A and B are shown apart, each in its own frame.
Chain A
């Protein structure tokens, strides 16, 4: 195995993997509440609120050093500042393209938030992407209206954009027309308007976004999620849609997602069916089982599936992943994953990938 830094294929990987990442929906499931429980943005991801910071310290980290126990975020008078920085390494079996080990910065996003009475202003700078986002959110008693430059809220909003229900293999490793849904990280933030409503443990939102998938596209989207608990069993169920209203292809996507959590064991899954993504219909699914072995240590097993034509015997890809998430300290998250891909029709697999990621946040 050779170590190569920033050579051509890895520069491509750098471009591919760089992007704005989402929240961890498993935490929402375990807490039986929407993303806004821990994040400033109701759609999740980015800057954490007081609960999110406390949750990271009390419930996620293996150890809580005294010096970090009083950390409540960085506040400058009326501003809260935060950031997410990730480094990723990908290693593939020799003979594959690219082979060897690649280490690269994956994300360096910085956030700033302020509040003026009922108005929340949240800005984000994605330095590696040279992209930015900003949202103005008017908070009401039962919901919110937010507008600005951002991304649509769709599906489980997983933090791993390589799962097929989000962006999948952007480099089309297996030679298909597509190897995942269109939510690739290279998509820039775009002007949007979104309405959200909370009723008990139900949250739904509806919005419009302009120029997100394509330069002149206009899209509408909606998302509904509901959490309920039955004793020690937490359940989550939801659905979402995305419809591009102006493109010639008229892309439409429907998504169903759900999850179950009992004690240290969680399952989450989602299915997305898209019309006119490649041909008539394409399907992507995600299913993940996690076990929190002890505080700070979580192991996972995941199966992703994608079929661009829904014939199932051609062009279908199944990826199996096993991993370990280790949170040694608050503000630090380390992930190790090993995954292999199986193709339909007896096509040989592209080998085994080893991934690791260091995530620092504040």
Chain B
């Protein structure tokens, strides 16, 4: 009986399954979780040299409990604004790497030559 219930549930899921809705995403332009996770995994984490738990509560990624996430959101808004200017100038868009270079905190002041 349990097996039948699971199979029915599975088939129902295949037929009426829907894409997940993003929760608490305010700055990034992505429409699906798949796009968002790939961006975080391939761009944000390596460019800051951090793991997911630096910003996220791993039991609830959408939560704003960690201050680092709030800072990251403002940083991403800053990058978006910068990229509007870059687009107007027909320059390449920038990302976290421009300042962070794989570090949690950008080097400041710049190294002396």
Contact = CB atoms under 8 A, between A and B. Distances in A.
Given A50-B61, A81-B9, A198-B53, A72 B2 contact: no
Contacts of B53: 33, 37, 198, 200-201
Interface in B8-47: 9-10, 12-14, 16-20, 32-34, 37-38, 41-42
Interface string A68-83: 0111111111010101
Q: 10 smallest A-B Cβ distances: which pairs? A: A139-B59, A54-B37, A74-B13, A110-B6, A81-B13, A141-B65, A36-B58, A76-B13, A50-B33, A74-B17
A77 B12 CA distance: 11
A33 B41 CA distance: 13
A53 B38 CA distance: 10
B58 A127 contact: no
A352 interface: no
B84 interface: no
Interface string B54-65: 000111110101
A53 B33 CA distance: 11
A249 B100 CA distance: 57
B51 interface: yes
A354 to B, nearest CB: 31
B52 interface: yes
Contacts of B18: 75-77
A207 B32 CA distance: 37
A89 interface: no
Nearest to A34: B58
A141 B57 CA distance: 7
B112 interface: no
A73 B41 CA distance: 18
B3 interface: yes
Nearest to B49: A229
Chain A interface size band reads 35 or more
Contact of A37 (B10, B13, B42, B58): B58
A33 B14 contact: no
B42 A125 contact: no
Contacts of B2: 125, 127, 132
A139 B59 CA distance: 6
Interface string B66-93: 0000000000000000000000000000
Contacts of B41: 51, 54-55, 58
B42 A73 contact: no
Interface string A237-260: 000000000000000000000000
Given A37-B52, A141-B63, 13 more contacts: A31-B51, A34-B58, A50-B61, A51-B52, A54-B38, A54-B41, A72-B19, A81-B9, A112-B9, A118-B60, A125-B6, A127-B6, A198-B59
24 contacts: A31-B51, A33-B51, A33-B52, A36-B59, A37-B51, A37-B52, A37-B58, A50-B37, A54-B37, A55-B41, A72-B20, A72-B32, A74-B13, A75-B13, A75-B19, A75-B20, A76-B9, A76-B13, A110-B6, A110-B10, A112-B9, A139-B60, A198-B57, A227-B51
Contacts of A76: 9, 12-13, 16-18
Contacts of B37: 50-51, 53-54
